[in-house]
Amino acid sequence: MITVNEAKQLVYSQAKPLGNIWVPLVDAAGMVAAEDIQSPIAMPSFTQSSMDGYAIQMKNIDAILPIQDELPAGSSKQLQLKEGYCVKVFTGGPVPLGADCIIQKEWVNNLGETIQIVGKTNELGLNIREMGSSVEKGDWVIARGTCLHPYQLAMLASLGISEVLVHRAPSTTLIITGNELVKPGESLAFGQVYESNSIGLVSALKAAGVKNVSILYVKDNLAETATAIRNALNESDIILLTGGVSVGDYDYVAKAAAQEKVDMLFHGVKQKPGKPLFFGKQNEVLVFGLPGNPSSVLHCFQQYVKPAIELMQGKHPVPTIQAMLTAPYSKKPGLDFFLKAYYQEGMVTILPAQASYQVSAFSKANCWVELPMDEALFNQNQLVTVHLF
Bridge partner residues of 271 (DSSP): 336
Residue 185 backbone phi and psi in degrees, to 5: 100, -20
**3-state DSSP assignment of residue 35:** coil
242-277 pLDDT, tens digit each? 999 988 888 899 999 999 999 999 999 999 999 999
How far, in Å, CA of 382 to CA of 125, rounded?
Answer: 58
**3-state DSSP assignment of residue 364:** coil
**Cβ proximity of 309 and 16 under 8 Å:** no
How far, in Å, CA of 88 to CA of 92, rounded?
Answer: 12
Q: Over range 340-344, report the average pLDDT.
A: 97
**3-state DSSP assignment of residue 324:** strand
Task: Kindly report the average pLDDT of the chain as a whole number.
Answer: 95
* Contact partners, residue 218, CB within 8 Å, separation at least 6: 175, 176, 177, 224, 225, 227, 228
**Cβ proximity of 91 and 51 under 8 Å:** yes
* φ/ψ bin of 281: left (φ > 0), alpha (ψ from -120 to 50), beta (otherwise): beta
232-247 pLDDT, tens digit each? 999 999 999 999 998 8
How far, in Å, CA of 27 to CA of 155, rounded?
Answer: 15
pTM for the predicted model, two decimal places: 0.81
Of the candidates 57, 44, 63, the one whose C-alpha atom is nearest the C-alpha of residue 103 is 57
Bridge-based pairing of strands 383-388 and 367-371 is antiparallel
19-53 pLDDT, tens digit each? 999 999 999 988 999 999 999 999 999 999 999 99
Residue type, 165: L
Of the candidates 200, 198, 195, 174, the one whose C-alpha atom is nearest the C-alpha of residue 183 is 195
197-233 pLDDT, tens digit each? 999 999 999 989 898 999 999 999 999 999 999 999 9
In what helix (H) or strand (E) does residue 200 lie, and over which residues does it extend?
helix 197-207
How far, in Å, CA of 70 to CA of 77, rounded?
Answer: 10
**CA end-to-end span of the chain:** 26
**Cβ proximity of 49 and 91 under 8 Å:** yes
- What does the longest C-alpha to C-alpha distance in the chain come to? 95
Which pLDDT score, from 0 to 100, does residue 30 have? 86
Which pLDDT score, from 0 to 100, does residue 357 have? 82
